[in-house]
Amino acid sequence: EAGVTQFPSHSVIEKGQTVTLRCDPISGHDNLYWYRRVMGKEIKFLLHFVKESKQDESGMPNNRFLAERTGGTYSTLKVQPAELEDSGVYFCASSTEASYNSPLHFGNGTRLTVT
């Protein structure tokens, strides 16, 4: 089966611009997660979708970040306007179930550089 795919793999934008990251989960996976690693820090949770609904968005850093999953398939994460501290790698993951017995499948991430 195809894995989790993320687009683009790299993005370089200027401070103040807008960027949209896309994630295509594994087909049939209702649960979709966004994580990120900013420079020198640990990988941190951002939010969790179950189908098209946001189950937990407690990790979203501020209102410059907007995640959507229309139709319950692919998801987008928009950063508007981008700030320097948003630079990092953004990972998407999906799973069949949200239970703690279900492994997550991660994409290879989008490396975002804000200059």
Partner 1 sequence: DAKTTQPNSMESNEEEPVHLPCNHSTISGTDYIHWYRQLPSQGPEYVIHGLTSNVNNRMASLAIAEDRKSSTLILHRATLRDAAVYYCIPRGTGNQFYFGTGTSLTVIP
Determine which residue in the list 18, 53, 55, 96 makes contact with partner 1, applying CB under 8 A. Answer: 55
State the virtual CA torsion across 17, 52, 39, 108 in degrees, nearest 10: -110
Residue number with CB closer to partner 1 (93 or 114): 93
Minimum distance of partner 1 from residue 94's CB (angstroms)? 11
Query: Which residue stretch of 13-21, 64-72, 74-82, 99-107 sits at the interface with partner 1 (rule: CB under 8 A)?
Result: 99-107
Give the 3-state secondary structure of residue 23: strand
Q: Which sign does the torsion angle of CA 19, 77, 24, 46 carry? A: positive
What is the spatial distance between Cα 91 and Cα 65, in angstroms, rounded to a whole number? Answer: 14
Tokens of residue 84, six digits: 């320097």
Residue number with CB closer to partner 1 (17 or 38): 38
Determine which residue in the list 1, 28, 42, 71 makes contact with partner 1, applying CB under 8 A. Answer: 42
Which among 84, 94, 63 has a CA at the least distance from the CA of 17? Answer: 84
Determine which residue in the list 35, 69, 82, 112 makes contact with partner 1, applying CB under 8 A. Answer: 35
| Chain residues in the site for partner 1 (CB under 8 A) | 4, 31, 33, 35, 42-45, 48, 55-56, 58-59, 91, 93, 98, 100-101, 103-109
